[in-house]
Amino acid sequence: MESGKRGFLTLLPLLLSFLFYFDFSKKLPSSDCSLLPHNHYWIASKHIVTPNGTISGAVEIKQGGIISIVAEENWHVNPWFTTVVNYGEAVVMPGFIDVHAHLDDPGRTEWEGFPSGTKAAAAGGVTTLIDMPLNSAPSTVSEEALKLKVQAAEGRVYVDVGFWGGLVPENAENATSLERLLDAGVLGLKSFMVPSGINDFPMTTSAHIKEALPTLARYKRPLLVHAEVLLDHDGKLEPEDGVDNARSYSTYLKTRPASMEEAAINQLITLTKETRAGGSAEGAHLHIVHLSDARTSLNLIKEAKRRGDSITVETCPHYLAFAAEDIPDGDTRFKCAPPIRDAANKEKLWDALLGGDIDMLSSDHSPAEPEMKLLDEGNFLKAWGGISSLQFVLPATWTYGRKYGITFEQLASWWSEKPAKLAGLNTKGAIAIGNQADIVVWEPDLEFDLDNDYPVHVKHPSISAYMGSRLAGKVLATFVRGNLVYKEGNHASLACALPILHR
């Protein structure tokens, strides 16, 4: 008996040590929200992209947040008592934030929808989407419409989703209506300076935008603008019947010349001077979406920035990947507005992006039912416009950017850090202590073919201009608020990400 007691007393310090060092909170019962049933763990890699550069080391995650980042030489953990997910040579970087996506929910879920769209986002390393206010029904132009959006998203999103509100003539001229929409939690507003194609989302003029800027200044939220204006007095966007072949992309290109972008941006920069210190709209910010003209339009934006105007600009991977000369006749998958321009323009876009004159990237994921693209008819003038791209923006940016020598840090800036700043997401956009654990893990050298065997999660893969491509940069895992929501082709059982409202 005495020997048994002595043996127990000998083991007691070891047992107490185990109790002291073992974190019982790190393992939870299997959760349908995550493919990793832990709320305290480490992610290790030779390539972790942080605001201070790429390091070899580990990131500690607890209860959905990042609590420490340690370089390899300073990292000492006991694998017996600590959960470590080691990704070896794979890249670990902040999850992408896509500030320009159309998920069409509620009202047009046959086009896309929150479940399919956010599954695609997760599979592509996008951890946060900001949903555009049009293509859903109703468009998000009122407090009531935003409530419908939020209700549709709750329990149905695999990545976090925020919402832009719509600036239309009705609320531009009614400060109370605009304030109610902003008070309800939209992250900012979006307007069209050209007909949008959606009946309940009419275009705004520069006069409407000027009217709304002081309100946006008070709320310190951005206005995103589709910057094209009609040049024809009759308002038509189509060439005269019989003059051109509607199956030729060059015909469509003539209907939306670069001068449409230039004219719109010229109007906008007469307003952005009021966003400077002491201006009537100080605190407001204008953001030009999906710029395709890298010539005069871009120069106007650069000049406005030099003057101190509060203005930023984005472009999209499809403008960086494709050139008008290469688009086959009748392939309406490539129709979008503004259009994909010539190869020389594409090179200038790359120069502007690499030089910092273009601030960030977005997908402008704009899906529709396949029959709306008129793929059999191939009529560029009648087909619905929009590039379906959400799941492919990471590999597309990397694949087409490699020849320009793009870096992991640049990807993080274009797709995470600057989009987070635009949308006011202060705890997203970087692998940094105190931020939410929104992380993508991917293999830069792993190539894959986008064919019929590749798992694509958007609702209508056939309409994507990227199908048939060979891309590099395969997503291995996606974490949203610490939950492993996607891993090597599989999603978490439940959609547990959250709607984001400005509070």
pLDDT digits (tens, 9 = 90+) for 145-168: 999 999 999 999 999 999 999 999
pLDDT at residue 402 in the model: 97
Each residue of 51-63: b (16+ CB within 10 Å) or e? eeebbebbbbbbe
Give the pLDDT mean for 479-493. Answer: 97
pLDDT at residue 26 in the model: 38
Q: Locate 291 and state its tokens.
A: 């710029």
Contact of 55 with 48, CB cutoff 8 Å: yes
pLDDT at residue 324 in the model: 98
pLDDT in tens, 208-265: 999 999 999 999 999 999 999 999 744 454 555 545 799 999 999 999 999 999 999 9
Judged on CB neighbours under 10 Å (0-12, 13-18, 19+), 270 is exposed
Tell me the pLDDT of the chain averaged across its residues.
92
Q: Is the pLDDT of residue 483 over 50?
A: yes
Residue with the two structure tokens 């923006």: 393
Q: Is the pLDDT of residue 30 over 50?
A: no
Q: Is the pLDDT of residue 18 over 80?
A: no
Q: DSSP code of 417?
A: I
Q: Are strands 40-50 and 84-86 parallel, antiparallel or unpaired?
A: parallel
pLDDT at residue 503 in the model: 84
pLDDT at residue 238 in the model: 54
Q: Is the pLDDT of residue 183 over 50?
A: yes
Beta bridge partners of 84: 42
Give the pLDDT mean for 433-451. Answer: 98
3-state secondary structure of 283: coil
**CATH superfamily assigned to domain 95-437+444-472+493-500:** Metal-dependent hydrolases (3.20.20.140)
Distance CA 256, CA 260 (A): 7
What is the crossing angle of helices 258-268 and 296-306, to 10°? 20
Q: Is the pLDDT of residue 11 over 80?
A: no
Distance CA 247, CA 232 (A): 23
Amino acid at 218: R
Q: Is the pLDDT of residue 27 over 80?
A: no
Q: Is the pLDDT of residue 14 over 60?
A: no
Q: Is the pLDDT of residue 464 over 60?
A: yes
Distance CA 414, CA 362 (A): 9
Distance CA 255, CA 44 (A): 51
Contacts of 232 (CB under 8 A, 6+ apart): none
pLDDT at residue 239 in the model: 52
**What Å distances lie between residue 199 and 60, 195, 224, 227, 424, CA to CA?**
49, 9, 19, 19, 30
pLDDT at residue 236 in the model: 52
Q: Average the pLDDT over each of 10-19, 77-86, 203-212, 257-266 and give the range with the smallest value.
A: 10-19
Binned at pLDDT 50, 70 and 90, residue 468 comes out as very high
Q: What pTM does this model have?
A: 0.93
Q: Which residue has the higher pLDDT, 16 or 487?
A: 487
pLDDT at residue 19 in the model: 33
Give the pLDDT mean for 267-278. Answer: 94
pLDDT in tens, 40-59: 999 999 999 999 999 999 99
Binned at pLDDT 50, 70 and 90, residue 81 comes out as confident
pLDDT at residue 130 in the model: 98
**What Å distances lie between residue 81 and 20, 57, 302, 417, CA to CA?**
11, 18, 54, 34
